[in-house]
Amino acid sequence: MLRLALFASGNGSNAQRIIEYFAENPAIEVSILLCNKPDAHVLTRAALLKIPSIVFNRATFYETDDIPELLKTNRIDYLILAGFLWLIPHNILALYPGKIINIHPALLPKHGGKGMYGIKVHQSVISAGDSESGITIHSVDANYDEGSIIFQAKCPVSPNETPESLAGKVHTLEYRYFAEVIEKFVTRDT
């Protein structure tokens, strides 16, 4: 059994889809959800779906080994970031080399980096006059949005596109592909 830890600190619509996608899978399970915001809606979703969750703060994450210890205790194989905005510290990167995956709501390497999240990403795409956007699923390193690209899917940017309408198109791609790409990635050597 491959065991996934989800890191999510927002609404959690992607986290929910991932949990549901693997719910009946005999070989892969979402074992735990980790979150840095005590009031994040993703915690309600996880509770309803019966996934245990842990909330941690900045000091715990960056100044202790509590999270790596927790991941080891839970025998976690892969970390999946689905709406998690903090850089992953070195103690966790060292424990999971090439085994941490993030989704970014645009076509990296454009429109990524620190502060580039949520609606700001879609505003950036529209201001740049890009004719297409999409999703990037990539491995995670010590910098924002710079790990190697695993998968991209595209959608057109219409002439009358708004950041909100583009967010809807991108969410559709996320829900369509993220869990499937995770499954392929974590089983690629099996």
Q: Which run of H or of E encompasses 101?
A: strand 100-104
Closest approach, Cβ 164 to ligand GRF, in A, equals 13
Residue 104 a catalytic site member: yes
Residue 66 or 126: the one with the smaller Cβ distance to ligand GRF is 126
Bridge partners, residue 80, by sequence: 6, 101
Q: Which residue has the tokens 């219409």?
A: 158
DSSP structural state of residue 52: -
**82 touching ligand GRF, by CB under 6 A:** yes
Site for ligand GRF in 152-181 (CB under 6 A): 174
Q: Burial, 118: exposed, middle or buried (Cβ in 10 Å; 0-12, 13-18, 19+)?
A: middle
**Least distance between ligand GRF and beta carbon 76 (Å):** 20
CA distance 18 to 57: 24
Q: Is 145 in the site for ligand GRF (CB under 6 A)?
A: no
User: Is 139 strand, coil or helix?
Assistant: strand
The whole-angstrom separation of Cα 93 and Cα 88 is 7
Residue 104 sits in the site that holds ligand GRF (CB under 6 A): yes
Q: Which of 41, 90, 104, 122 is an active site residue? A: 104
- How far apart (Å, rounded) are the C-alpha atoms in residues 144 and 87? 7
Size of the site for ligand GRF (CB under 6 A): 12
Binding mask 83-102 for ligand GRF (x = CB under 6 A): x-------------------
**Comparison of 66 and 113: residue with beta carbon closer to ligand GRF:** 113
Does position 14 bind ligand GRF by CB under 6 A? yes
Q: Does 60 bind ligand GRF (CB under 6 A)?
A: no
**Structure-token match 């210890």, residue found:** 69
Distance of CA 156 to CAs 42, 51, 87, 112, Å?
29, 35, 30, 18
Measured from each CB, the residue nearest to ligand GRF is 83
Catalytic (active-site) positions: 104
Interface contacts to ligand GRF, rule CB under 6 A: 10-15, 82-83, 103-105, 174
